[in-house]
């Protein structure tokens, strides 16, 4: 075989290989669970390729990068196998040490940004999660983090993480943030905190009992006050009625007095004597000056004592 023929066959083989590569790299498929971005000389095209069969320029002019549409989980405080590792230790706003576990669910929403905006987008996401969680825990008190404040901490971490990821523009979106566990670092600290919690609960119980007693006494005092006010109102009405009746009686007596002064005056004197001396025998006599009236205190009759005649006394003395 001559050199010319050799070159000819070599050229045909190369062209054939190139044609085969071109045929194999001018089309691609995307599954429902995938998303793809086409790179032209390494530059990402706009938009996300929809699922199905698609065509492109042969390699190396264009190539395709495929990524999953599924939701990923970032376990903050656990390793990749799901086994618990060293938990993330943080300091609260009241200088207490806490350990926390967090799960962040995220997905790729901008493949081009995910590929080129950051060298390690997952590490950026991890660092942003750590920053958000530490910032929220650092401004919270230990009681809030261990009890009723978990939901609020979770919401604040989610808001802070979403804001950071949006500002980084690494092509991912936060779907959900779940605060799995917040606990104290060791048994000694847990025991001390439990004692403090029990003491606080006892204190609150005593405070509640004191408030209940104070409310009871307050209600009793208010009831007694209302009763006193009602009695005073009743006495007031009674006094007014008595005064009104006295005025009416006095006006009626005044009319009688103006009509007959003498009789009315004598009747008033007699009524007054009956009131002042209810047990005494009162005798009213018209004295003519000739006899002496003797009024026994314990008898209801009047005895008239007639004094002896002066002439008969002289005769008896002479004899």
Give the three-state DSSP class for 112.
Answer: helix
Confidence class for position 224, pLDDT limits 50, 70, 90 = very high
Lowest mean pLDDT across 96-105, 124-133, 199-208:
96-105
pTM above 0.85, yes or no: no
Return the percentage of the chain with pLDDT > 90, whole number.
24
The backbone torsions φ and ψ at residue 163, rounded to the nearest 5 degrees and listed phi first, read -65, -40
Per-residue confidence (pLDDT) for residue 19, from 0 to 100: 64
Q: Which residue has better confidence, 63 or 203? A: 203
Reply yes or no on whether the pLDDT at 231 is more than 90: yes
Classify 71-185 by CATH class: alpha beta
Per-residue confidence (pLDDT) for residue 276, from 0 to 100: 78
Per-residue confidence (pLDDT) for residue 232, from 0 to 100: 94
Cis peptide, bond prior to residue 229, ω within 30 of zero: no
Per-residue confidence (pLDDT) for residue 9, from 0 to 100: 66
Residue-wise DSSP of 115-182 = HHT-S-HHHHHHHHHHHHHHHHHHTS-HHHHHTTTHHHHHHHHHHHHHHHHHHHT-SEEEEEEEEEEE
The residue extents of the domains of the chain are 3-67, 71-185
Burial of 51-81, coded b for 16+ CB within 10 Å and e otherwise, reads eeeeebebeeebbbeebebeeeebbbbbeee
Per-residue confidence (pLDDT) for residue 5, from 0 to 100: 65
Residue range 160-197, pLDDT digits in tens: 999 999 999 898 999 999 888 777 776 777 777 777 77
Rounded CA separation 154/100 (Å):
11
Residue range 106-150, pLDDT digits in tens: 999 888 888 888 889 999 999 999 899 888 888 888 877 777 788
Q: Minimal CA–CA distance to 112: which of 165, 61, 45?
A: 45
Residue range 2-23, pLDDT digits in tens: 666 666 667 766 666 666 766 6
Reply yes or no on whether the pLDDT at 159 is more than 70: yes
Per-residue confidence (pLDDT) for residue 314, from 0 to 100: 46
Per-residue confidence (pLDDT) for residue 306, from 0 to 100: 46
Highest mean pLDDT of the ranges 175-184, 213-222, 258-267, 281-290: 213-222
Per-residue confidence (pLDDT) for residue 289, from 0 to 100: 52
Reply yes or no on whether the pLDDT at 281 is more than 70: no
Q: Minimal CA–CA distance to 168: which of 126, 120, 117, 129?
A: 117
Residue range 35-91, pLDDT digits in tens: 888 887 777 776 666 777 776 767 777 788 888 888 898 888 765 554 555 567 788
Per-residue confidence (pLDDT) for residue 188, from 0 to 100: 73
Residue range 245-265, pLDDT digits in tens: 989 988 888 888 888 888 888
Give the three-state DSSP class for 290.
Answer: coil
Mean pLDDT within 83-104: 75
Q: Minimal CA–CA distance to 22: which of 50, 63, 52?
A: 63
Count of all residues that appear for the chain in the document: 319
Rounded CA separation 78/252 (Å):
104
């Amino acid at each position: 075989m001559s050199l010319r023929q050799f070159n000819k066959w070599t050229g045909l083989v190369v062209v054939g290989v190139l044609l085969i590569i071109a045929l194999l790299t001018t089309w691609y498929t995307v599954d429902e669970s995938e998303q793809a971005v086409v790179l032209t000389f390494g530059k990402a095209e706009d938009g996300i390729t929809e699922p199905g069969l698609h065509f492109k320029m042969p390699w190396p002019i264009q190539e395709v990068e495929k990524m999953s549409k599924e939701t990923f989980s970032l376990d903050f405080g656990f390793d990749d196998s799901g086994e618990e590792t060293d938990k993330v230790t943080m300091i609260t706003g009241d200088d207490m040490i806490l350990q926390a576990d967090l799960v962040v669910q995220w997905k790729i929403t901008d493949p081009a940004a995910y590929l080129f905006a950051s060298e390690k987008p997952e590490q950026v996401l991890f660092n942003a999660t750590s920053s958000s969680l530490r910032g929220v825990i650092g401004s919270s008190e230990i009681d809030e983090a261990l009890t009723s404040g978990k939901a609020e901490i979770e919401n604040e971490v989610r808001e802070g993480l979403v804001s950071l990821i949006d500002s980084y523009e690494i092509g991912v979106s936060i779907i959900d943030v779940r605060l799995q566990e917040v606990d104290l670092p060791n048994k000694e600290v847990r025991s001390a905190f439990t004692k403090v919690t029990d003491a606080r609960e006892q204190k609150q119980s005593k405070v509640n009992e004191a408030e209940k007693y104070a409310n009871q006494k307050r209600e009793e005092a208010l009831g007694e006050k209302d009763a006193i006010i009602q009695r005073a109102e009743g006495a007031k009405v009674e006094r007014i009625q008595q005064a009104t009746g006295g005025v009416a009686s006095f006006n009626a007596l005044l009319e009688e007095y103006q009509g007959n002064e003498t009789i009315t005056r004598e009747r008033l004197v007699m009524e007054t004597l009956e009131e002042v001396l209810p047990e005494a025998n009162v005798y009213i006599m018209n004295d003519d000056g000739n006899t002496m009236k003797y009024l026994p205190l314990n008898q209801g009759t009047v005895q008239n004592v007639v004094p002896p005649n002066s002439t008969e006394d002289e005769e008896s003395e002479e004899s």
